[in-house]
């Protein structure tokens, strides 16, 4: 990240400082799962907005409360009994609840392509391609852009993606370290789409 920031004009973010600071007040990652929780995703999304020059809102300035999370993927992958572990801590973050969101394509955010439109005043077509970390970001991103598209990077070669890329005002590629081996393939596809 430091090298890319120092040697290119690529906008890159790794919100480790923001997440580390936030964990002093609340849990930002799930203990029984390999993902951030909704508070962590909120903080990561706000860090993205900061990089993009958009207004940000501190998590302490929106309603949020703890909720239980059970049977994370570490428990399932380890074939462990969920009853042997205390419930994990997730959060419900009530972000821009006055913004209406309509699903355009799909009703399940885990589908390879998920699209919404919203009543956001930000008249912008936003596309994010990423791994499972993008899923907890959805409920924030789709309230801040009038058109929201998300795809899983495994599907970057699908025929529809070229048109999504061409029509997008903003493209974000999200990648967690364990999936960095897929990053070059994702970037290659988007470079080709945007060069056409």
Q: What pLDDT digit, counting tens, does each position of 4-55 carry?
A: 889 999 899 999 999 999 999 999 999 999 999 999 999 999 999 999 999 9
Cβ-proximal residues to 161 (8 Å cutoff; 6+ apart), any chain: 129, 151, 155, 189, 193
With pLDDT > 70 as the criterion, what percentage of the chain qualifies? Answer: 100
More confident residue, 45 or 76: 45
Q: What is the arithmetic mean of pLDDT over 124-141?
A: 96
3-state secondary structure the chain: CHHHHHHCCCCCCCCHHHHHHHCCCCCCECCCCCCECHHHHHHHHHHHHHHHCCCCCCHHHCEEEEEEECCCHHHHHCCCCHHHCCCEEEEEEECCCCCCEEEEECCCCCCCEEEEEECCCCCCEEEEEECCHHHHHHHHHCCCCCEEEEEEHHHCCCHHHHHHHHHCCEEEECCCHHHHHHHHHHHHHHHHHHHC
pLDDT band (50, 70, 90) for residue 154: very high
More confident residue, 66 or 106: 66
């Amino acid at each position: 990240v430091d090298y890319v920031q120092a040697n290119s004009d690529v906008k890159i973010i790794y919100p480790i400082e923001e997440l580390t600071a936030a964990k002093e007040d609340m849990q930002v990652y799930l203990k029984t799962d390999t993902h951030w929780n909704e508070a962590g995703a909120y903080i990561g999304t706000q860090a993205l907005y900061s990089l993009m020059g958009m207004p940000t809102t501190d998590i302490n300035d929106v309603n949020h409360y703890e909720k239980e999370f059970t049977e994370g993927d570490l428990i399932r992958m380890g074939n462990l009994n969920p009853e042997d572990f205390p419930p994990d801590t997730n959060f419900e973050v009530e972000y821009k609840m006055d913004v209406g969101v309509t699903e355009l394509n799909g009703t399940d955010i885990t589908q390879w392509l998920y699209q919404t439109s919203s009543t956001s005043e930000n008249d912008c077509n936003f596309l994010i391609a990423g791994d499972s970390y993008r899923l907890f970001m959805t409920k924030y991103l789709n309230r801040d852009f009038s058109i929201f598209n998300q795809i899983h990077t495994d599907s970057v070669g699908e025929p529809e993606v070229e048109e999504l890329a061409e029509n997008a005002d903003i493209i974000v590629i999200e990648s967690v370290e364990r999936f960095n081996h897929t990053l070059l393939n994702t970037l290659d596809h988007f470079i080709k789409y945007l060069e056409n």
